Structure 1
Amino acid sequence: MARLRPQDAERRRAAGPDFLEALARGLAVLQAFGPERRQMTLAEVARVVDLPRATARRALLTLAQLGHLETDGRLFRLTPRVLRLAAGYLGGNGASTILQPRCERLSLAIGEPCSAAVLDGEEIVFIAYGQPTPMLNVTTIVGWRLPAFCTALGRVLLAGLPDAELEAFLARLRPEPVTRLTELDPAAIRAQVLETRAQGFALVDQEAEIGFRSLAVPLRRYDGRVVAALNLGMHTERGSAVILHERVLPLLRAEAEEISAQLV
């Protein structure tokens, strides 16, 4: 039987005998594809997912038979059918339904892109996105992932974690640079997250993208738990950090308060 990666083996030990290795491998194969790996050979998939070629081949052919992948005999790529996996979450998640029109409205009002995200492991996942001009397809942003530690959205979501979960996240974090300005010192990252928790917002300046500043605030449900974060970004030439703090922060906080009243 093919071995699982260390993190997957740990999940199996935690889950006990009900853990399905074949399902875990199949999902890992699907998740291996992305913007930087739009199509791959069998050998490439096996290397990325860290599985024997025979195991990776069975997973790829099964997913192709189910319609989630297509192949020309050598290269494999995702098909639109994989969107069904996300559709259930986006359609059934009340937060996504509430946040999409809010992001669109706020983006038009301020003239800058507005987004919302949730925390998934060590990454944030965008669940809503609005922009003032139709330059990008919203579907290219929704579902997009970024590291949590160096983004405004991520720091807000990390700040909302219970102490034990935050410390566990920081203990396993191995930060890698996204830009030349990305903070990589674990102690400094921890201090930034705690500062975010204390002040109730995060302002990140070019750590995730050069030439781009982001400001984010938490979205809390009825019991005070942070379930998502709301963000507005601005190119550096369009506004300083002071402008974001003085002009945008009050608007984001007011919007977050209205949204939180609808979250359950």
Structure 2
Amino acid sequence: MPKLKREGREERATDFVESLDRGLRLLQGFAASREPMTLSDLARSAELPRATARRILFTLERGGYVASDGKLFTLTPHILTLAASYLRSSQLATVLQPVLDRVATGAQEISSLAVLDRDEVVFIARASPTRVFSGGIDIGYRLPAFCTSVGRAMLGQFGDDELANRLRAMPRQAMTPQTVTDPDRVLASIIRDRAQGYSLVDREAEPHFRSISVPVRRYDNVIIAAINIGAHVDRISTKEMIERFLPLLREGAGSVRSQLL
């Protein structure tokens, strides 16, 4: 019987639950469109047979995660309970939220917390000096890691050879005219950022927007997240980001290291 190694322990290949894997793939398939989707659309998006997709959708509908008018399918608000479970159980979000509040107040700008998820960054907490979010990055928002300041701050945890391989393998689509997509240039930027302890990305991820980030390290110095401050290029210069925002971010990230396990 073949075995799989996961997290330092051996598991039999039969421990893999294919039906659960297919259900998760189908849920992710809803991201392919902002409109209600047909059974065929979802089956195609999840790369599943129609009959399999139909059974999964029926199960999800019974559980309250999916709604249907008989032809089109949509996710229901109940699906957010899955994300809420992560946020409520996340030590990072709990420990870092007061830090984000303090940083946002000191900078008078929105501050965010992100984690690395394969080739992307996911924002899991944020704070505003006014506690009113007028726009920008929301919790759960995703961006490519290679062209964001939080992504580059976290990618610095990998050795040069592994990092070079990851960059060449990941999609590197230009997000703006300023996006650097050449893997060698991105690698050089991340190595430089690692040495200086912060990353500043100027209009590469979003037009007219620049961001500065520092890595968040746990008690043993391992990078597990990044916090940032972003602002419109017309309001904040790169010089001001480094001189005024960087000390706030460094103090905030350093203040919680002993609390993160």
TM-score by length of 1: 0.87
For 1:174-253, what aligned pairs fall within 5 Å after superposition?
174-253=171-250
Structure 2: gaps (5+ residues): 1-10
Q: Distance in 2 between matches of 1:233 and 1:239?
A: 9
211-220 or 43-52, larger mean C-alpha shift: 43-52
Structure 1: gaps (5+ residues): 1-13
**Cα distance change, pair 26–113 in 1 and its aligned pair in 2 (3 A):** same
Q: How far 1:165 sits from its partner (Å)?
A: 4.6
Deviations 1:134-155 (A, max 9, x none): 13489x8222211111111111
For 1:48-127, what aligned pairs fall within 5 Å after superposition?
48-127=45-124
Contact 2:167/2:183 (<8 A) preserved: yes
State the one-letter code of the partner of 1:141: D
**Cα distance change, pair 38–151 in 1 and its aligned pair in 2 (3 A):** farther
Q: How far 1:15 sits from its partner (Å)?
A: 7.5
Contact 2:217/2:223 (<8 A) preserved: yes
173-182 or 109-118, larger mean C-alpha shift: 173-182
May I ask how many residue pairs the two structures share in their alignment?
250
Q: Distance in 1 between matches of 2:220 and 2:33?
A: 39
Report the equivalent of 1:129: 126
Higher helix share: 1
167-176 or 181-190, larger mean C-alpha shift: 167-176
Report the equivalent of 1:10: none
Q: Distance in 2 between matches of 1:15 and 1:174?
A: 32
TM-score by length of 2: 0.88
Please, what is the CA RMSD of the aligned residues? 2.2
4+ residue runs over 6 A deviation: none
Identity %: 46
**Cα distance change, pair 35–28 in 1 and its aligned pair in 2 (3 A):** closer
Q: Distance in 1 between matches of 2:34 and 2:166?
A: 27
Contact 2:148/2:205 (<8 A) preserved: yes
Contact 1:38/1:78 (<8 A) preserved: no
